[in-house]
């Protein structure tokens, strides 16, 4: 199953690098593991190449790319609540999942569609598809108010009304500068798209989808930008080729800082929650999760499999449930739960 973001170059971790990571973790003193840390068997979880994860209430929803299903997991103990896999849901190569209000939306990369499911009773609300939506391998979802934005890998952003599934608008064409887009986020009335092949970020008006700007100045430090997240004030962009994270202001469309660290290798997916920015580094011999404090931007800890039995294996997506961070591991068919403050391992479901 292909990842929805692409490894651009190889990365080899030396024993010395891993030693440094252990020393830097949790304030420089190694890893503090939570009491009661345990591994939960998941023979009934039916995880199969998990590609996305989203939290809604006390549940997690995990999209399974290899089995065309969504697994609902109890966030308090890691047990399976339900598996949504019936053909009538139209799940076909799901790549991403997003919680919006009382519904979850699943992007179906192979099906060129989006499935809307009601949280709680797992009832199908609708399948959004058809030529008018211009879906071509949808890979990312974002929302603002009553509007859902869908990013297709071919370079299309589709705007849909969440209450009706009606198409509001489509942004497609060379004027937008889309080039292998992978990341999508909405902030301050603007839509931001990361163009990994162009070292740029396209900015659209969230209402009209008109092109507002294409950010590519060297001051941003974009180098194969992959993921986007909004912390309520600024946008965070992970640069896979630059081993860095760019913080930019949606108000001024200027760079705030470029956080460069030798301990942020191959950064990919990113999310914000509990006052922190979290990044994933999936490829390589030691995938890891890093915590960044936004103001001033600094890396506070990094956790990899050397720090403990996190079972990271091509970690593909992150989600916050309360004060805990969940990681979906695509190649490991597993979930990892961590304390978002300390990075301590709480449980693995594998």
Q: Which own/partner pairs from 132-138 qualify as long-range (CB within 8 Å, at least 24 positions apart)?
A: 132/167, 133/158, 133/160, 133/167, 133/170, 134/158, 134/170, 134/172, 136/112, 137/95, 137/109, 137/110, 137/112, 138/95, 138/96, 138/107, 138/108, 138/109, 138/112, 138/113, 138/114
CATH assignment of the domain containing 283: 2.40.10.480
Q: How many CB atoms lie within 10 A of CB 128?
A: 25
What is the number of structural domains in the chain?
Answer: 1
* Tens digits of pLDDT across the chain (350 residues): 455 554 443 333 333 333 333 333 333 333 333 333 344 444 457 899 999 999 998 999 999 999 999 999 999 999 999 999 988 899 999 999 999 999 999 999 999 999 999 998 999 999 999 999 999 999 999 999 999 999 999 999 999 999 999 999 999 999 999 999 999 999 999 999 999 999 999 999 999 999 999 999 999 999 999 999 999 999 999 999 888 999 999 999 999 999 987 767 778 899 999 999 999 987 666 799 999 999 899 999 999 999 999 999 999 999 999 999 999 999 999 999 999 999 999 999 98
Q: In this predicted structure, what is the pLDDT of residue 23? A: 34
Whether 39 maps to a domain, the answer reads yes
Q: In this predicted structure, what is the pLDDT of residue 38? A: 43
| Domain containing residue 42 | 1-47+269-350
Q: In this predicted structure, what is the pLDDT of residue 314? A: 92
Q: In this predicted structure, what is the pLDDT of residue 4? A: 56
Whether 293 maps to a domain, the answer reads yes
CB 275 within 8 A of CB 266: no
Q: In this predicted structure, what is the pLDDT of residue 216? A: 98
Whether 325 maps to a domain, the answer reads yes
Whether 296 maps to a domain, the answer reads yes
Whether 304 maps to a domain, the answer reads yes
- 99 forms beta bridges with 104
Distance, in Å, from the CA atom of 71 to the CA atom of 85, rounded to the nearest integer, reads 8
**DSSP sequence for 136-200:** SSEEEEEEETTEEEEEETTTEEEEEETTT--EEEEEESGGGT-SSEEEEEEETTEEEEEETTTTE
**DSSP sequence for 6-52:** ---S-----HHHHHHHHHHTTTTT---PPTT-EEE--TTT---SEEE
Q: In this predicted structure, what is the pLDDT of residue 183? A: 96
CB 216 within 8 A of CB 224: no
Whether 318 maps to a domain, the answer reads yes
Q: In this predicted structure, what is the pLDDT of residue 350? A: 81
Whether 179 maps to a domain, the answer reads no
Predicted TM-score (pTM) of the model is 0.89
Whether 37 maps to a domain, the answer reads yes
């Amino acid at each position: 199953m292909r990842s929805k973001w692409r490894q651009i170059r190889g990365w080899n971790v030396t024993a010395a690098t891993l030693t440094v990571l252990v020393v830097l973790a949790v304030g420089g003193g190694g890893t503090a593991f939570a009491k009661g840390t345990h591994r939960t068997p998941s023979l009934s979880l039916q995880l199969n190449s998990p590609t996305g994860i989203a939290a809604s209430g006390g549940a997690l929803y995990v999209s399974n790319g290899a089995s065309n299903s969504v697994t609902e997991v109890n966030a308090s103990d890691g047990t399976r609540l339900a598996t949504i896999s019936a053909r009538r849901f139209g799940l076909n190569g799901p790549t991403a999942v997003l919680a919006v209000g009382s519904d979850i939306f699943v992007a179906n990369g192979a099906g060129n569609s989006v499935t809307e499911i009601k949280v709680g009773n797992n009832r199908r609300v609708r399948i959004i598809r058809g030529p008018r939506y211009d879906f071509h391998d949808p890979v990312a979802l974002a929302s603002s108010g009553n509007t859902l934005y869908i990013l297709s890998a071919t370079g299309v952003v589709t705007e849909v009304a969440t209450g009706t599934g009606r198409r509001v608008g489509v942004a497609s064409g060379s004027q937008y500068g889309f080039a292998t887009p992978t990341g999508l986020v909405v902030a301050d009335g603007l839509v931001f798209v990361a163009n990994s092949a162009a070292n740029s970020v396209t900015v659209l008006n969230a209402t009209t989808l008109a092109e507002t700007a294409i950010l590519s100045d060297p001051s941003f430090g974009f180098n194969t930008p992959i993921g986007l997240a909004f912390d309520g004030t600024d946008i965070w962009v992970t640069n896979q080729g630059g081993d860095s994270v760019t913080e930019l202001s949606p108000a001024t469309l200027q760079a705030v800082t470029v956080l460069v660290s030798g301990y942020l290798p191959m950064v990919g997916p990113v999310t914000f929650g509990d006052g922190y920015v979290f990044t994933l580094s999936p490829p390589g011999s030691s995938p890891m999760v890093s915590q960044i404090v936004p103001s001033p931007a600094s890396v506070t800890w990094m956790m990899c499999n050397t720090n403990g039995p996190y079972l990271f294996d091509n970690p593909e997506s992150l989600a916050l449930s309360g004060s805990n961070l969940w990681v979906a591991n695509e190649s490991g068919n597993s979930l990892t739960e961590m304390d978002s403050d300390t990075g301590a391992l709480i449980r693995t479901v594998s």
